[in-house]
Amino acid sequence: MKPFEAKARIEILRKEIEDHNHRYYVQNQPLISDFEYDVLLNELETLEKKFPEFKKDDSPSQRVGSDIKNEFEQFDHEYPMLSLGNTYNEDELREFDNRTKKTASGSFNYSCELKFDGASVSITYIDGKLSRALTRGDGNKGDDVTENVKTITSIPLSVRGSNVPEKFTVRGEIVMPRVVFEGLNNERTKENQPAFANPRNAAAGTLKLLDSRIVGSRNLDCLVYVVLSDELPHDTHSENLKAVAGWGFKVPDSIRLCKNIEEVLKYISTWENQRKQLPFDTDGVVIKVDDLSIQEELGFTSKSPRWAIAYKYKAEEALTKLLSVAFQVGRTGAVTPVANLEPVLLSGSTVKRATLHNAEQIAILDLHLGDMVYVEKGGEIIPKIVGVDHSFRNEESRRIEFIKSCPECGTFLVKNEGESNHFCPNYLHCPPQLKGRIEHFISRKAMDIDGLGEETIDLLFSNNLIRTFADLYDLGQEQLVPLERLGEKSATNIINSILKSVRVPFHRVLFALGIRHVGETVAKTLASRFDSIDSLINAGSDELTSVNEIGPKIATSIITYFADQENMELIRRLKAKGIRFTSEKTKGISGNKLEGMVIVISGIFQKHTREEYKEIIENNGGKNSTSVSSNTSFILAGENMGQSKKDKANELGIQILDEQEFLKIIDEE
Ligand code: IVH
């Protein structure tokens, strides 16, 4: 490879890996498996080694990903939170063993542990009391999720037992039992919310919720895998973990000490099947040198310890025949190819379909109709095709071609530079896109029209009763009752909840319209700056971009939306039905009583959710901030307010108000 080619490839890899990091750590929606990710990272590392002139400190090869979200206060980890090197076969594991033995000055045992698949957390205790819990973040600093962690019942708020250091940190995996995950996804599907891809994403997403009460209801568990302190009671990792179990933490009883690599391999093969009986997902085994002094000798690379490694189990695969490929158009117009397969048993369930992601994936696999394909079920629910067994290929079989036009409406598909999906540009008339926009419109955070769900929307759509969300307000009881599956009672419920939605505040209506790039937060920002839809419609690009957080991309999208006469017609019809298109200044909830104030919210509340309090503060001219500083005007505190915030407030002499006191300020007058 020539240097200029290497440079170009390095840049592509860096961008791609950063995108995957963001999807994995921040959005909790990974697109590729850990293995595929490691392949990309390895390629990047190899190229950077070969062409050191292109090395860069901010390359994703130099750091671990970051899960940091701006809503949480961040703190430094006292001991950095590193990741683990991965191995995928026996040879790689034996190499690790040889390396380790060469450097270690004496003999040692390995501690073998299951690698539970969730979100890692680091919890510090001082004087026996839970003091602060942080997510991994970028490895050096993490998000303060103390309030959420306190709702997890297997994490003690204060420890018991003997030999407890004055200050120590436990690290563990926050996991969600598979049954809880399935129940949660059923509920989310009913409420038109996107389902979580797997229990890991569900656990990571839950840990980052702003409302601790919901966290408490999701039955998370914490499995501790390490303890750190300047005064650990024992010289080995395994004995210290035993001590931790005695202090009240949950330490998995699957941990075993192994004298050599043969015993490690036996442990790995024993658990390969047994792990499936556990209530939680596991994706491998972690092998650690047990002796702490030898751990110290071995030390760390910039990213991971040299004294530990992960062995990843191979995702289960099955070989089956590709019968056909269907192309599905999603709510956003994105086209996804889906493989129809000869039914095959895989990890305990029958698989008939698998995702093919996009055109590039089909091209990489060079798929032909009738091919024998390998299907894999990784951490995600939807299986995917990972390879083709060419020995079965019939030379006459036809290559799979990506379609040129939309299977739903016939419009010519487009593919934007830098994006991997083909799109149907027929935004206004393509049925799945129309339905998708109605589903978004009725969803909980938008117009919150309960009683209507995906199925009912489908029913109304196929009976030609609705084409746009504005049509919902023209529906009459008599049109609904005769429909299959709907009786008098559901029809009444639907009509009532549609009627009720006229009271939804302006910012949620704005969000409900489904303007590209106008999510919940942007809608709120717009509604607080423009007090009616008319002033927003009349705003030019300069006025829009002068608003904090509104850049040219959002501004263009807003202008394009209102320039479309069909959208304007929808708004006109909604207005005529009494939908709120102006900011309401209702009793005490809106005003300027908090003008210029900076308010920190902490703890669990009774009357409103944390999100609602944030909104009330903003609607009253105040600013919500996540960290306590000398600029803080006061703290709105609920139950179990964060200790760190309390200490800081006391130190700075900042007033702490409870819910009642706060609402009194807002409501008075
Ligand atoms: S030890 C410095 N032990 O795997 C090494 N990690 O890929 C610290 N994990 O971030 C990790 N089970 O979230 C360790 N028994 C176990 C584990 C475990 C799951 C997760 C953990 C870590 C990731 C590393």
Residue 82 CA: nearest ligand 1 atom is 2
Q: Is residue 562 one of the residues assigned to a domain? A: yes
Mean pLDDT to the nearest integer, 545-555: 88
Residue 308 CA: nearest ligand 1 atom is 5
More confident residue, 479 or 609: 479
Q: Is residue 217 one of the residues assigned to a domain? A: yes
Nearest C-alpha neighbor of 260 from the set 88, 116, 104: 104
Packed helices 552-563 and 565-576: angle between N→C axes, nearest 10 degrees:
80
Taking 90 as the threshold, does the pLDDT of residue 312 lie above it?
Answer: yes
Give the model confidence (pLDDT) of 170-207 as tens digits: 999 999 998 999 899 888 877 767 788 789 989 999 99
Atom 17 in ligand 1: residue holding the nearest Cα: 115
pTM (whole model) above 0.75: no
Domain harbouring 327, CATH code: 2.40.50.140
How far, in Å, CA of 27 to CA of 153, rounded? 26
Give the model confidence (pLDDT) of 418-466 as tens digits: 778 899 999 889 999 999 999 999 988 899 898 888 889 999 999 999 9
State if residue 113 touches ligand 1 by the CB under 6 angstroms criterion: yes
State if residue 227 touches ligand 1 by the CB under 6 angstroms criterion: no
State if residue 405 touches ligand 1 by the CB under 6 angstroms criterion: no
Tell me: do 219 and 180 sit in the same domain: yes
Mean pLDDT of the chain: 89
State if residue 283 touches ligand 1 by the CB under 6 angstroms criterion: no
Tell me: do 189 and 322 sit in the same domain: no
* Domain span including residue 166: 74-312
Q: Ligand 1 centre and the CA of 545: distance in Å?
A: 44
Give the model confidence (pLDDT) of 271-299 as tens digits: 998 998 999 999 999 999 999 999 999 99
Mean pLDDT to the nearest integer, 206-230: 89
Domain harbouring 637, CATH code: 3.40.50.10190
Tell me: do 134 and 17 sit in the same domain: no
Taking 60 as the threshold, does the pLDDT of residue 90 lie above it?
Answer: yes
Q: Which of 115, 175, 200, 307 to mutate to test the pocket of ligand 1 (most atoms within 8 A of CB)?
A: 115
Tell me: do 605 and 562 sit in the same domain: no
Taking 90 as the threshold, does the pLDDT of residue 248 lie above it?
Answer: yes
- Whether 115 sits among the annotated catalytic residues: the reply is yes
Q: Is residue 421 one of the residues assigned to a domain? A: no
Q: What's the confidence (pLDDT) of residue 641? A: 85
Tell me: do 254 and 151 sit in the same domain: yes
State if residue 159 touches ligand 1 by the CB under 6 angstroms criterion: no
User: Which residue(s) pair with 453 in the sheet?
Assistant: none
Packed helices 261-274 and 90-103: angle between N→C axes, nearest 10 degrees:
140
Q: Ligand 1 centre and the CA of 644: distance in Å?
A: 27
Contacts of 186 (CB under 8 A, 6+ apart): none
How far, in Å, CA of 202 to CA of 200, rounded? 5
Report H helices in 24-144.
Answer: 34-50, 90-103
Q: What's the confidence (pLDDT) of residue 506? A: 93
Residue 304 CA: nearest ligand 1 atom is 2
Q: Is residue 401 one of the residues assigned to a domain? A: no
Band of the pLDDT at 586, cuts 50, 70, 90? very low
Tell me: do 448 and 562 sit in the same domain: yes
Band of the pLDDT at 590, cuts 50, 70, 90? low
- Provide, rounded to the nearest whole percent, the portion of the chain with pLDDT above 90: 55
Tell me: do 171 and 194 sit in the same domain: yes
Atom 12 in ligand 1: residue holding the nearest Cα: 115
Structure tokens at 648: 């800081």
Q: Ligand 1 centre and the CA of 310: distance in Å?
A: 8
How far, in Å, CA of 369 to CA of 394, rounded? 9
* Domain final residue, candidates 258, 277, 312: 312
Give the model confidence (pLDDT) of 126-176 as tens digits: 999 999 999 999 899 999 999 899 989 899 999 988 889 999 999 999 999
Q: Ligand 1 centre and the CA of 226: distance in Å?
A: 9
Tell me: do 144 and 34 sit in the same domain: no
Tell me: do 116 and 81 sit in the same domain: yes
Q: Which of 134, 173, 288 to mutate to test the pocket of ligand 1 (most atoms within 8 A of CB)?
A: 173
- Provide, rounded to the nearest whole percent, the portion of the chain with pLDDT above 70: 95
Mean pLDDT to the nearest integer, 367-373: 95
Tell me: do 338 and 299 sit in the same domain: no
Of 15, 49, 50, 115, the active-site residue reads 115
State if residue 34 touches ligand 1 by the CB under 6 angstroms criterion: no
* Domain final residue, candidates 312, 342, 370: 312
CB atoms within 10 A of CB 259: 11
More confident residue, 508 or 641: 508
Domain harbouring 503, CATH code: 1.10.150.20
Alpha carbon separation from 660 to 587, 614, 649, 655 (Å, rounded):
16, 16, 19, 14
Q: Is residue 413 one of the residues assigned to a domain? A: no
State if residue 298 touches ligand 1 by the CB under 6 angstroms criterion: no
Tell me: do 215 and 115 sit in the same domain: yes
Q: Is residue 300 one of the residues assigned to a domain? A: yes
Band of the pLDDT at 29, cuts 50, 70, 90? low
End-to-end CA distance of the chain: 74
How far, in Å, CA of 140 to CA of 63, rounded? 10
Q: Is residue 404 one of the residues assigned to a domain? A: no
State if residue 583 touches ligand 1 by the CB under 6 angstroms criterion: no
Band of the pLDDT at 6, cuts 50, 70, 90? confident
State if residue 310 touches ligand 1 by the CB under 6 angstroms criterion: yes
State if residue 281 touches ligand 1 by the CB under 6 angstroms criterion: no
Number of domains comprising the chain: 4
* Domain final residue, candidates 546, 576, 606: 576
Residue 252 CA: nearest ligand 1 atom is 15
Band of the pLDDT at 211, cuts 50, 70, 90? confident
Tell me: do 657 and 538 sit in the same domain: no
Q: Is residue 407 one of the residues assigned to a domain? A: no
Q: Ligand 1 centre and the CA of 381: distance in Å?
A: 23
Spatial contact of 309 and 331, defined as CB atoms under 8 Å apart:
no
